[in-house]
Amino acid sequence: MAISPQKQLQYWGIAALVLIFLLYALGNVLLPYILGGALAYCLDPIADRLEAWGLSRIMSTVVITLSGIFLFILIFLLVVPTLIGQLGELIAQIGRIVEDLPGTWEGIKLWLSERIPGLNVQGDFMQEQIQTLGAAIQSRSGEVVNALLSSAQGIINAIVLVVIVPVVTFYLLMDWDRMVAQIDDLLPRDHQSTIRDLARQIDRTLASFIRGQGTVCLILGTYYGLALMLAGLNFGLVVGLIAGLISFIPYVGALVGGALAIGLALFQWWGGTEVVDGETIQTGINWLRIGIVAAIFAFGQFVEGNFLTPNLVGSSVGLHPVWLILALSVFGSIFGFVGMLIAVPVAAVIGVLARFAIQEYKNGRLYKGTVKDD
């Protein structure tokens, strides 16, 4: 006897609630496995291509694993030291800016008083607030940095991720096709074709977004980081990586990274005084270098919009930027970092199911109405 749709809805609802509860309760434990599964999903097409070239599945997995280890070591030796150094300099620079906040406010008041004599810029309340803010940041920043650096739990978690994620990725990648076949064999017979069609739509969406957009973010992050470093911008590698990481949201990466880079460029090349061979020299604003920084992001945005995104992502991803931001915010607030990792796949699944539900609704009697017999 077939199970009624109401009973099926109850069973699937209970299964979804159990899954949500497990994800909420075991989020930190599941993190390495979620990362490993995501990496295996992204690398599966490469393994399939190697198999098509004549390698076995296990040899394809070994080749991908060794290549990934080599690339990781190369990045760690070439990029990580520079990145850590720039982060340390950036933190120190922020600390100096915080210390100079009261003096900066006095300079702003003097500048305004000289150019707008009638303007009252005493600002005692504002100055007190700035001093309070600076003192609070100074008193807490050291504690926060020390806590992050000396946290044994954080070090243990990092080691666990570095060790477990590659192992999980290796085994999942090696058995990926077999696992997909087993899941397909467990599908309800009455709904097999529908579930397969939905799964193909979800796979297309995830492949376009995760694989394609991930490649775009990697290319843009590398380009921005190297270009800003060659342009001589302080902390250029950090800014480039930040811009690349958030480039999965259209225009946000370029806007945020561009604003941050141009702000640092203005701070670095606005002009001032320099001591050269014992003599104080007045330097002007270096508009050329500031313009180069702006041109780097303008060119990156042009290449992304006209070449990278159309060819690597496609025009019909099915994930609206607002829906994506909402999913990241909701899942991040509920499940933490693990929630942010699964936000994109879950958003893709919900989007596909929502479109399927709308189509079923338009094909149903509730939308079309009932036709009366003559």
pLDDT in tens, 181-224: 998 888 888 788 888 998 888 888 888 777 788 888 889 989 99
If you average pLDDT over residues 53-62, what whole number do you get? 92
Radius of gyration of the chain (CA): 27
Predicted model pTM: 0.67
If you average pLDDT over residues 4-9, what whole number do you get? 72
pLDDT tens track for 221-276: 899 988 998 888 888 888 888 888 888 776 778 888 888 888 888 888 876 555 55
52: pLDDT strictly greater than 50: yes
Distance in angstroms (rounded) separating the CA atoms of residues 351 and 358: 11
320 in helix, strand or coil? coil
Cβ neighbours, 10 Å, residue 247:
27
Find out whether 177 and 57 touch, Cβ atoms under 8 Å: yes
Q: What pLDDT score was predicted for residue 317?
A: 56
* Percent helix, percent strand, percent coil in the chain, to nearest 5: 85, 5, 15
Least confident of 6-10, 139-143, 305-309, 369-373: 139-143
144: pLDDT strictly greater than 60: no
Find out whether 173 and 61 touch, Cβ atoms under 8 Å: yes
What's the N-to-C CA distance of the chain in angstroms? Answer: 36
Tokens of 329: 């915010």
- Between 253 and 293, the higher pLDDT residue: 293
The Cα angle at residue 314 between residues 309 and 316, in degrees rounded to 5: 130
The Cα angle at residue 80 between residues 79 and 82, in degrees rounded to 5: 70
Which sequence spans correspond to the domains of the chain? 27-178, 192-274+281-317
Q: What pLDDT score was predicted for residue 152?
A: 46
The per-residue pLDDT of the chain, averaged, comes to: 77
- Between 122 and 178, the higher pLDDT residue: 178
Backbone φ and ψ for 274, nearest 5 degrees, come out as -130, 145
Pick from 56, 36, 32: which is nearest to 171 by CA? Answer: 36
Find out whether 93 and 263 touch, Cβ atoms under 8 Å: no
Q: What pLDDT score was predicted for residue 129?
A: 52
Q: What pLDDT score was predicted for residue 102?
A: 57
Distance in angstroms (rounded) separating the CA atoms of residues 198 and 207: 14
Tokens of 340: 């942010």
Distance in angstroms (rounded) separating the CA atoms of residues 330 and 339: 8
Pick from 263, 196, 214, 254: which is nearest to 235 by CA? Answer: 263
Find out whether 245 and 235 touch, Cβ atoms under 8 Å: no
Quick one: DSSP state of residue 315? S
99: pLDDT strictly greater than 70: no
59: pLDDT strictly greater than 90: yes
Distance in angstroms (rounded) separating the CA atoms of residues 20 and 207: 24
- Between 63 and 108, the higher pLDDT residue: 63
Q: What pLDDT score was predicted for residue 211?
A: 76
298 in helix, strand or coil? helix
Quick one: DSSP state of residue 6? H
Quick one: DSSP state of residue 272? E
Least confident of 1-5, 56-60, 216-220: 1-5
Q: What percent of the chain has pLDDT over 70?
A: 71
281 in helix, strand or coil? strand
pLDDT band at 151 (very low <50, low <70, confident <90, very high): very low
pLDDT tens track for 314-340: 655 556 777 777 888 888 888 777 777
Tokens of 207: 């492949």
Contacts of 92 (CB under 8 A, 6+ apart): none
Distance in angstroms (rounded) separating the CA atoms of residues 128 and 88: 29
Fill in the amino acid letter for 44.
Answer: D
Taken as a whole, the chain contains a residue count of: 374
Least confident of 96-100, 148-152, 229-233: 148-152
Distance in angstroms (rounded) separating the CA atoms of residues 44 and 210: 13
Q: What pLDDT score was predicted for residue 236?
A: 83
- Between 177 and 162, the higher pLDDT residue: 177
